[in-house]
Amino acid sequence: MKAVIYYAFDDIRIENMDIPSISDTELLVKVHGCGLCGSDIIKIVQQAQPPVVLGHELTGTIVERGKAVSNFEVGQRVIVSHHVPCGECHYCRHQNYSMCANFKASNIDPCGFAEYIRVPTQHVQHTTLLLPESLSAEEGSFVEPLACCVRAVRRTPLLAGDSVVVMGLGSVGLLMLQAVKAVGADDSGKVRVYGVDLLQERLQLARDLGADDVVLAPADEDDLRQALDQYTYGRGADAIIITAPGTRPFMQALAGARKGGTINIFAAHSGMVPINLEKIYQQELSITSTYSSSPEELRIALDLLTSQKVRVDGLISHRLPLTRFSEGVELMRERAALKVYYQISGE
């Protein structure tokens, strides 16, 4: 079978290797396709040291089942997520699942960008979900990134009627604004969601997917606050979720949040950001962050997609074969692609 193997940031090969063997408690899955995640790009750009497992937004069909596996059948379509928390350690008891040592150590074999994967026992038990007939393989590939968005929203305190700004409207930002709409407040009411981006076509997509309004990202941070005042009675946003990396989005969020508001750092940041600690203290601003998701949020995300409370039509801009892996990476790095999906075996 073919698989993408990472040797170094500038040495990523598509190699022929043996189809993995499975134990009695594992599954062998033939991969339909896999989305290219921003975290895959970060590992490459930041020159991560091997071993590095690339690809985790995948769906596939079970082609072999271990003798002790009773909850799945050969021929079923599934979603498989890559990390599994232990559920028992100090971090898990505090719901910091992505800080769990087992979470960080677990993964699929060999990677999501492969024709077949071995699904380890703990993944079979906790992060393998049946893909409903109503969802295509492409739609199912959004369960994992949507689950990360669901966790970000759940970690952001919101009340009905609150104003939420999503900064950065890539594929994750567009999932995020829908997740805010779907799970951002209790049944007593809804929150209002506003999207911010530099690209007009992404602002239009945000409108199409339910944003209450959109704002073209200004050059100056104070200009964003002024743009938000018309929606927030001059207070600023109750919460700002940053899905775009860099100093400017953070500084704009700091200026755009209301007194007592929350800033959730969702995108990875590699630079240093100057922070006015006095402002944070005097205005009681809360700064939090979200990394990855839990098995519970995977199930919530699947339900949101199945019920069509979250739509992903139009989010995949490029469909490529695995042999053009490097091309997809460059398209994402250059922001020429909204989302790259690698078609590996079809359905």
338: domain CATH number? Answer: 3.90.180.10
Q: Are both 6 and 139 inside the same structural domain?
A: yes
Q: Are both 161 and 123 inside the same structural domain?
A: no
Q: How many residues comprise the chain?
A: 347
Output the CA–CA distances (angstroms, integers) from residue 335 to 41, 183, 199, 318, in the order listed. 12, 29, 10, 12
- Residue 190 phi/psi, 5° resolution? -115, 165
pLDDT of 60 reads 98
User: Does residue 187 surpass a pLDDT of 60?
Assistant: no
- Residue 52 phi/psi, 5° resolution? -130, 130
Helix, strand, coil abundance in the chain, percent, nearest 5: 35, 25, 45
Q: DSSP character for 32?
A: E
pLDDT of 274 reads 83
pLDDT of 188 reads 54
Q: Are both 46 and 126 inside the same structural domain?
A: yes
Count of CB atoms situated within 10 Å of the CB of 24: 10
Q: Are both 115 and 187 inside the same structural domain?
A: no
Q: Are 6 and 52 in contact (CB under 8 A)?
A: yes
Q: Give the residue ranges of DSSP H helices in 84-170.
A: 90-93, 101-105, 121-126, 137-140, 143-154
Final residue belonging to a domain, choices 289, 314, 329: 289
Strand-pair category, 192-197 with 163-167: parallel
Q: Are both 125 and 223 inside the same structural domain?
A: no
pLDDT of 83 reads 97
Q: Are 298 and 127 in contact (CB under 8 A)?
A: yes
Angle between helices 38-45 and 325-333 (to 10 degrees): 90
Q: Are both 178 and 228 inside the same structural domain?
A: yes
pLDDT of 219 reads 80
pLDDT of 315 reads 97
Q: Identify the bridge partners of residue 60 per DSSP, sorted by sequence position.
A: 31, 78
Q: Helix or strand or coil: residue 150?
A: helix
Final residue belonging to a domain, choices 272, 289, 306: 289
Count of CB atoms situated within 10 Å of the CB of 67: 9
Q: DSSP character for 146?
A: H
Work out the pLDDT band at 302, boundaries 50, 70, 90: very high
- Mean pLDDT lowest among 70-79, 172-181, 194-203, 219-228: 219-228
Q: Are both 135 and 6 inside the same structural domain?
A: yes
Query: What domain range includes position 129?
Result: 2-147+293-343
Count of domains in the chain?
2
Q: Are both 167 and 112 inside the same structural domain?
A: no
Q: Are both 135 and 31 inside the same structural domain?
A: yes
Q: Are 48 and 21 in contact (CB under 8 A)?
A: no
For residue 239, which of 171, 154, 324, 296 has the smallest C-alpha distance? 154
pLDDT of 247 reads 87
pLDDT 10s digits, 1-51? 999 999 999 999 999 999 999 999 999 999 999 999 999 999 998 889 999
Strand-pair category, 128-130 with 77-80: antiparallel
Work out the pLDDT band at 320, boundaries 50, 70, 90: very high
pLDDT 10s digits, 82-126? 999 999 999 999 999 999 999 999 999 999 999 999 999 999 999
Please give the distance of CA 295 from its chain centroid, rounded to a whole number. Answer: 14
Say which amino acid occupies 106: S
Which CATH number does the domain housing residue 208 bear? 3.40.50.720
Looking up tokens 């339900």, which residue turns up?
A: 303
Residue 110, preceding bond cis, omega within 30 degrees?
yes
Q: Are 217 and 224 in contact (CB under 8 A)?
A: yes
Q: Are both 267 and 312 inside the same structural domain?
A: no
Q: Are both 187 and 238 inside the same structural domain?
A: yes
Q: Are both 93 and 22 inside the same structural domain?
A: yes
